[in-house]
Chains A and B, each alone.
Chain A
Amino acid sequence: MAETTSNSGLLTVRLLTPDRVLLDATAEAVELPSMSGYLEALYGAAPLLAELGAGEVRLHGGSSGDQKFFVAWGFVEVLPDRVTILAETALHPNEIDVSEAQKDLQEGEKLWREAGDDGNKYDEANAVTREAEEKIASAEGKSK
């Protein structure tokens, strides 16, 4: 499959979670929510390894059309002709349970208040909050 895509200028995009392979498609461009902000990979991109935060992976163009996935925490490898995303959580926007995310958000705020002087607990609380916020944003984005 890599042979065919290398000529057409499309990236092979794969999205994997610990328990399943969620996506195996091609795209012209992929937006990725890295730890330090969104980055976009195009065909021929320089090899890159980055940690993912919480946010949306957005695919543009390609065989599958535009697609969006919510991901949280993981890693991405960008090679000139392929992008592989390893995510701890990955969901189709339709699969997101908003009320559950709201609960997580409150949980995150509660953790933050109770963190005391433990730096790790603040990080954990922030992680929970950010994931919940991004989840809600992603779920609402699909209704637009």
Chain B
Amino acid sequence: MANVLDLRRRIRSVKNTRQITKAMKMVSAAKLRRAQEHAMQARPYAQMLINVLESLVRRTDIYNPHTGKILHPLLIEREEKNVLVIVIAGDKGFAGGFNSNVGKAAQKFVDRRVARGQNVDLEPIGKKAIAFYKRKFPAANYEKTEEHYDNDLATHYEKIRHRAGQIEVAAEHPDLLAKTDVKAVSELAYSIIERYERSEIDAVYLVYNEFKSVLVQRIVVEKLLPIAELGAQNVESSVEPTQEERDAAVRAAQSEGISIHVPEASEMEEEAKKFGTANVDYIFDQSPETLFRHLMPRYVTTQIFHALLESTAAEHAARMTATDAATKNAGDLIDSLSLTMNRVRQAAITKEIIEIVSGAAAL
């Protein structure tokens, strides 16, 4: 049987661990609050953008009068031969199943597509996802050709893609999560749109943790391009958390005083819903077609931005839940170790008394 000194040392060590996980939980809770606020702040802009686009769709001739089809390239459905999958995971571990669950959902989706004979490009966001995919799949290989015309007065560049396997890593974005900056997201969106318009890819999917609130969260595979309906989420498949996971998340949130319900729409958001929908004839500074064309990439940007913000919130929530469970486990362990220690100490005392008593009796 272990001696008292060893047990005491062990308890001290577990206590330290508990303190660390407790601190981590508090930090995660604070970060979660900030992430939720950030996501709220971003909503009015997205809402207004959708409104403007919708009103433009009604006003412009973006439909072909003969076939009734939409003319904008980002709205046209093509046969899906090459699919881009953007996987958003976290930068750090210690967040329960956060990273692995998203990875599993992505893998399932990719497997399904590969089975159908489609080529899959992966674009991981978050260091965990990048490290995972980089080990497994080759990077996309581009060749840049240069042609010179008219005595070198004009140069023509062309990018040619050489495919080595059915699954490749198209690009990676290690810093996108640390500082979710609109400009960087916008660059990503433009690069995706460029590849889409060149027909290098025929459809774009996002795999991420959707986080509306502690109670309403799930992993979704969402179709980003082509856009089926403006402002509507086009969910391909989703994975809901188990009841057990949900209970753990709720317990962790409540102990930190975080509301488990979807935050109410702010006044600004209510206002945002009315943006661009006034029943008046707007004067357009540019032609509606031009406006529409310029707005579409921004719409894609806000969609990705939104996914990033929600995934960040989900990551902090997952870490909060994981550290809450760790803190609780540490507490349980300390209790059971203390019990053992007391028992061992008592046994030692009893043994000594028996020795003294039996020694006295022998006299």
Contacts and interface: CB of A to CB of B under 8 A. Distances in A.
Contacts of A19: 38, 41-42, 45, 180, 182, 305
A77 interface: yes
Contacts of A141: none
Interface string A34-48: 111001000000111
A121 to B, nearest CB: 9
A88 B49 CA distance: 11
Contacts, number: 91
Contacts of B298: 88
Contacts of B27: none
Contacts of A14: 268, 271
A35 B293 CA distance: 14
B278 A51 contact: no
B286 A51 contact: yes
B291 A51 contact: yes
B44 interface: yes
Interface string A69-90: 0000001010100001010110
B182 A21 contact: no
A118 B285 CA distance: 27
B155 A116 contact: yes
A88 B155 contact: no
Taking residues whose C-beta sits less than 8 angstroms from the other chain, chain A's interface range is: 20 to 34
Chain B CB count within 10 A is highest, among A24, A47, A86, for A86
Contact of B286 (A24, A36, A89): A36
A35 B287 CA distance: 12
A25 to B, nearest CB: 13
Q: In terms of DSSP, what is the predominant structure of the interface of chain B?
A: helix
A16 B268 CA distance: 10
Contact of A34 (B180, B285, B294): B285
Interface string B109-139: 0000000000000000000000000000000
B189 to A, nearest CB: 11
Nearest to A39: B285
A35 B186 contact: no
Interface in B159-212: 180, 182-183, 186
Interface in A8-33: 14, 16-21, 24
Contacts of A39: 285
Contact of A49 (B155, B180, B282): B282
A18 B46 contact: yes
A49 B182 CA distance: 23
Nearest to A82: B271
A54 B44 CA distance: 22
Contacts of A17: 45, 182
A49 B302 CA distance: 20
Contacts of B311: none
Contacts of A117: 149, 154-156
B302 A18 contact: yes
Contact of A88 (B44, B180, B182, B282): B182
Contact of B283 (A49, A86, A88, A89): A49
Interface string B24-68: 000000000000001001101110110010000000000000000
B45 A86 contact: yes
Contacts of B99: none
B48 A16 contact: yes
Contacts of B285: 34-36, 39, 48-51
A88 B281 CA distance: 25
Interface in B64-94: none
A134 to B, nearest CB: 16
B265 interface: no
B283 A75 contact: no
A69 to B, nearest CB: 15
A35 B295 CA distance: 13
Given A77-B282, A117-B149, 13 more contacts: A16-B45, A17-B45, A17-B182, A18-B305, A19-B45, A19-B182, A48-B285, A50-B285, A75-B52, A79-B278, A89-B182, A116-B156, A117-B155
26 contacts: A14-B271, A16-B268, A17-B182, A18-B42, A18-B305, A19-B305, A20-B41, A21-B268, A35-B286, A39-B285, A47-B281, A48-B284, A49-B276, A49-B282, A75-B49, A77-B52, A79-B280, A84-B48, A86-B48, A86-B49, A116-B154, A116-B155, A116-B156, A116-B157, A117-B155, A117-B156
